[in-house]
Chains A and B, each alone.
Chain A
Amino acid sequence: GAGVSQSPRYKVAKRGQDVALRCDPISGHVSLFWYQQALGQGPEFLTYFQNEAQLDKSGLPSDRFFAERPEGSVSTLKIQRTQQEDSAVYLCASSGLMNTEAFFGQGTRLTVV
């Protein structure tokens, strides 16, 4: 089937606006990760789901960031009251069994103006 799909590919938000980023993982993949990648940097871990359970959210930078995966498949990363420092590419990855290859989506490039 298809790989990991993210939408939208690009999002421009005015400062203070709320945004929602969607990730469709590979069907059947148990693990789902969200990362934030600033220009020229490595992916910074945000949060991890195993099925619908959010097992680790230690990387979320503030309480303005919220992620969910209610049915254990599609996930949404929501950012409230966006700030300029939130501008980055947000990458989603999924994998089957623990510690197997993680497949990345194309990412959503968020620009906050």
Chain B
Amino acid sequence: GENVEQHPSTLSVQEGDSAVIKCTYSDSASNYFPWYKQELGKRPQLIIDIRSNVGEKKDQRIAVTLNKTAKHFSLHITETQPEDSAVYFCAEAGYSTLTFGKGTMLLVSP
């Protein structure tokens, strides 16, 4: 698969603040960009995804933006809560493989 760069590797915020995680990719054929949340000892679970024909998608406190020209996409979490604490992975897919970034550990302090 192609490389997916994810930043930052750790992010600490206060409850109620916003959190932003950014990813860049290299394969111009990529057309599907999901975000997964993985709690300690559990399986990754999809929280939101976006396709290449859309620039932004929102689901309650979570939003994702995509800039195909610059080949980057971002996850935005507003009004963070302690239960948002987890590792978040971006991913990209083109014709076959689903390639993941290295993850961002988000810590939300009460």
Contacts and interface: CB of A to CB of B under 8 A. Distances in A.
Contact of A48 (B31, B45, B49, B97): B97
A65 to B, nearest CB: 16
Interface residues of A, number: 25
A56 B97 contact: yes
Interface residues of B, number: 23
Instruction: Choose among A43, A44, A59, A91 the residue with the greatest number of B CB atoms under 10 Å from its CB.
Output: A43
Contacts, number: 57
Interface stretch (A66-74, A80-88, A98-106): A98-106
B43 A102 contact: no
B98 A102 contact: yes
B31 A45 contact: no
A59 B89 contact: no
A24 to B, nearest CB: 14
B73 to A, nearest CB: 14
A56 B101 contact: no
A67 to B, nearest CB: 14
Given A42-B100, A45-B98, A105 B43 contact: yes
Contact of A106 (B43, B97, B101): B43
Contact of A104 (B32, B44, B95): B44
Interface string A19-61: 0000000000000010100001111110010100001101100
B29 to A, nearest CB: 11
A79 interface: no
A45 B99 contact: yes
A77 interface: no
A56 B96 CA distance: 8
